Structure 1
């Protein structure tokens, strides 16, 4: 029997419970893992609350990112064997698979061998953050050396990954955060500039640091009313990537700014990358190369034991963290 986190109703962290289940053997094209660490993501909290892109089918499992050892493989799986150290990529529906547990079964296309230099904790922290940032900034955004990119919610794991990717390309990461409390940490993490949006004028600051040119790209998981200021801070023909919905208020479309500057506002999720095998393979190579070169290193905010999964979710929703929250199993 395996210990698996599920929820039988949507709601806050308190709905999470650890159930004992017989997961059985992996089916064709699947891999069963002995899990050592879990990386937590906002998407999972939204799924648990019934506020995600898809509604959970109850009782529901959850979780996109795990690191562990292969226990068994299903028929047709040739890239992995028992004993391999691997981590999982968010490339599946949580209504079909979920990795919160001491054992997990996932599709083989969502499994990758990570660099041996990573600990289990770090290995559970790489794919969501780096692939999400990579997909928008590199193949879609074509971010180049010398160009400015505004990165909102910059203390999140994806925000920090975006900072590291921008720096690896020679670009200029402009990080935003609500207050100046995280300014020093973001500068230490590699941000070229930090703007505290509740204390400073976002548009004025971006124009100041870019010589009134504006940023060519903005990368935003918050949305809501702040989209208007982000659009105003973009350069002519700039692009605003919208990849989340952390704001509870509606998101207005900045029509006149978009018209005046010929802007592109683009909805984006990681799944636009992971659902295409060739794109995913290029992304994996980019992330692994960055880790091996020392350009990318996940920042772990805090770890929790498996029994405290609900408390880990509470901490995630407190917005105190800088970096990734990991649960050890």
Structure 2
């Protein structure tokens, strides 16, 4: 592959801050290296990790001018000399398995490592394909790989209307579990039931602990997936059964959470921080997860829910909408 460059619009930022720091700039994109692939992007999936990185509170600190974005779907435009099994013209999506210091997906034309490329199922649109991997792989890692979810077990899912929350509802049902959705919006109750939640609890309306215990006939939930934290965390711990499993995979509420020491001593639950790299960084687990998810999609049991789309030119507005917590599903930017 030669070193020819192509001009394309990408999103960059030169300082940390709110969505308004994002700028669309015309830059020269280098041809892919020996083990890289270039993609003409059709859709970009937005994630909370993008927000945290832009604000400077992520596990990596941006180096300016910084790019961002973990998910995209599009058409292969060029392949590196050592790449096998991928051809120009293939319709593909990108696994979020790279450092934002090296690669990014917010752009018309992107270059990514060949190992991140997936030929997504044909039943998915580009918008849906851009919404699959971060959410479903993360939830697979928690529910299927780590929690070993069994049929009949209760799973509490907070921030249930997010893309990860909706993926958790679907994967819980697919594995035979019973999803209990928690949302802060009364207007989302019916939509969550339609999305497959067996029960919906409105956060702040009633005692979260009491509602979960009522649903589970006093036993407590078997598993909880929590990307919120804050004041809601202690009631969640109190609602878990003895030897239950709690996964914290986000911090939507940055308020310090109370740690219910006595409940932890009495119930001895497993409380784990969770990062998608637990799947993405483990090739055998990643391979199993991809096959499991593709199988569920083929059966019609799993499907990413796109909440709203924005054109590429409205990347700032799309990001503001993501951070407003109004959405029901994934926010996708079309290119």
Query: Per-residue displacement from partner, 1:300-324 (whole Å, max 9, x unpaired)?
Result: 1111000000000011111110001
Cα distance between partner residues in 2 of 1:223 and 1:182:
20
Instruction: Tell whether 2:159 aligns with 1:153.
Output: yes
Cα distance between partner residues in 1 of 2:32 and 2:174:
39
Instruction: Tell whether 2:148 aligns with 1:142.
Output: yes
Cα distance between partner residues in 2 of 1:75 and 1:282:
28
Paired residue for 1:272, among 275, 278, 281?
278
What's the CA shift for 1:100? 0.3
Cα distance between partner residues in 2 of 1:109 and 1:226:
38
Unpaired runs of 5+ in structure 2? Answer: 1-6
Cα distance between partner residues in 2 of 1:192 and 1:156:
17
Q: Tell me, what secondary structure is at the counterpart of 2:93?
A: strand
TM-aligned CA distance change 1:213 to 1:88, over 3 Å: same
Structure 2 counterparts to residues 7-156 of structure 1, below 5 A: 7-156=13-162
What's the CA shift for 1:22? 1.1
Which residue is 1:4 aligned to?
Answer: 10
Paired residue for 2:296, among 274, 284, 290?
290
Cα distance between partner residues in 1 of 2:260 and 2:64:
38
Q: Tell me, what secondary structure is at the counterpart of 2:291?
A: helix
Report how many residues are paired.
329
Please report the TM-score for the alignment, with normalisation by the length of structure 1. 0.98
Paired residue for 2:205, among 174, 199, 202?
199
Which residue is 2:234 aligned to?
Answer: 228
Cα distance between partner residues in 2 of 1:254 and 1:141:
22
Query: Per-residue displacement from partner, 1:3-22 (whole Å, max 9, x unpaired)?
Result: 11000111111100111111
Cα distance between partner residues in 2 of 1:179 and 1:19:
37
Cα distance between partner residues in 1 of 2:255 and 2:264:
20
Which residue is 1:186 aligned to?
Answer: 192
What's the CA shift for 1:152? 0.4
Unpaired runs of 5+ in structure 1? Answer: none
Cα distance between partner residues in 2 of 1:272 and 1:105:
24
Deviation beyond 4 Å, 4+ runs, structure 1 = none
What's the CA shift for 1:33? 0.5
Which residue is 1:303 aligned to?
Answer: 309
1:303 and 1:326 in contact (8 A); partners too: yes
Query: Per-residue displacement from partner, 1:46-66 (whole Å, max 9, x unpaired)?
Result: 111112222111111000110
Which residue is 2:256 aligned to?
Answer: 250
Instruction: Tell whether 2:178 aligns with 1:172.
Output: yes
Cα distance between partner residues in 2 of 1:136 and 1:63:
22
Q: Tell me, what secondary structure is at the counterpart of 2:29?
A: coil
1:179 and 1:199 in contact (8 A); partners too: no
What's the CA shift for 1:29? 1.6
Cα distance between partner residues in 1 of 2:68 and 2:307:
21
Q: Tell me, what secondary structure is at the counterpart of 1:22?
A: strand
Instruction: Tell whether 2:214 aligns with 1:211.
Output: no
What's the CA shift for 1:247? 1.0
What's the CA shift for 1:254? 2.7
Cα distance between partner residues in 2 of 1:124 and 1:167:
22
Cα distance between partner residues in 2 of 1:121 and 1:186:
21
1:179 and 1:198 in contact (8 A); partners too: no
More deviation, 152-161/46-55: 46-55
1:203 and 1:233 in contact (8 A); partners too: yes
Paired residue for 2:321, among 279, 299, 315?
315
Q: Tell me, what secondary structure is at the counterpart of 1:23?
A: strand
